[in-house]
Amino acid sequence: MSQKQCFENSHLAARTFYVNILYVVIVLLAALSVGTLSPVDCNECKVLNITDDDGPRTTTFPRYQSCKLNGSESALAQEGTCIPFDAQSYAPVVEYNVVTGYKFEPTVGDKEAADSLQVLFNISVAALVINSLLFVYSVGCHWGYMYGRQMFLQYRTLFSLTNIGLFSGLVGWLNSVDNIDESFNLKNNVYFEDINMSAVAISGLVLCLLDILVANYVVHFMYKESKDCRA
């Protein structure tokens, strides 16, 4: 079956729309995770000021380098609480005996919490970038602006496995944090004030699992007589 015939097939057209919607949803979930870890408007983010010959300057750290994912019940007594990293985790940047700024170098006591947040942020950004590119390419393929659309659909299972790995990583790293699912942490920690990161990660994982276990299974048998059109 020719590529033109494949894409004129109503089933394959539906499959293409499905892929577009799938990547939009995954992009939104990844964006929620990134936005929670490093929001644009962050009142609780660590801000350090310096004054030199050029005048006053500030170094602002993102939320994932300012607040921890967990804390004690007594420390999390109010909603929107930020459990701060130790002040010693912010080291001055010195050039020619002059402090020009600050960098995040977690202390031994803060290193585990800082590493977890850094990995979560990296995974979230990777999921956002990868699926944004996949969405753009998918839409381009759908409207005939990109080459290799048939190959893109045929090997899409690899992208599904990649997403499963990314969201499994989010779920695993979140679950490795002590007391993260305690009611006081979920209620009052600033990371869970607007969005439940665990719910976002689990939703992404479930969606990707359903995609590869159900959607790809259905398509495989839908096109069992048209091998070149399988997605």
Whether the predicted pLDDT of 28 surpasses 90: yes
For the chain, which residues make up each domain, given as ranges?
Answer: 3-229
pTM, whole model, 2 decimals?
0.85
Least confident of 7-11, 179-183, 226-230: 226-230
Cα 75 from Cα 72, distance rounded (Å): 5
What pLDDT score does 164 carry? 96
Whether the predicted pLDDT of 30 surpasses 90: yes
What pLDDT score does 219 carry? 63
What pLDDT score does 24 carry? 95
Write the pLDDT tens digit of every residue in 205-218. Answer: 999 999 888 776 66
pLDDT grade for 223, boundaries at 50, 70 and 90: low
What pLDDT score does 114 carry? 95
Name the residue with higher pLDDT: 170 or 49: 170
Least confident of 15-24, 62-71, 107-116, 174-183: 15-24
pLDDT grade for 68, boundaries at 50, 70 and 90: very high
Mean pLDDT of 103-111: 93
What pLDDT score does 1 carry? 44
pLDDT grade for 77, boundaries at 50, 70 and 90: confident
Write the pLDDT tens digit of every residue in 115-127. Answer: 999 999 999 999 9
Whether the predicted pLDDT of 32 surpasses 60: yes
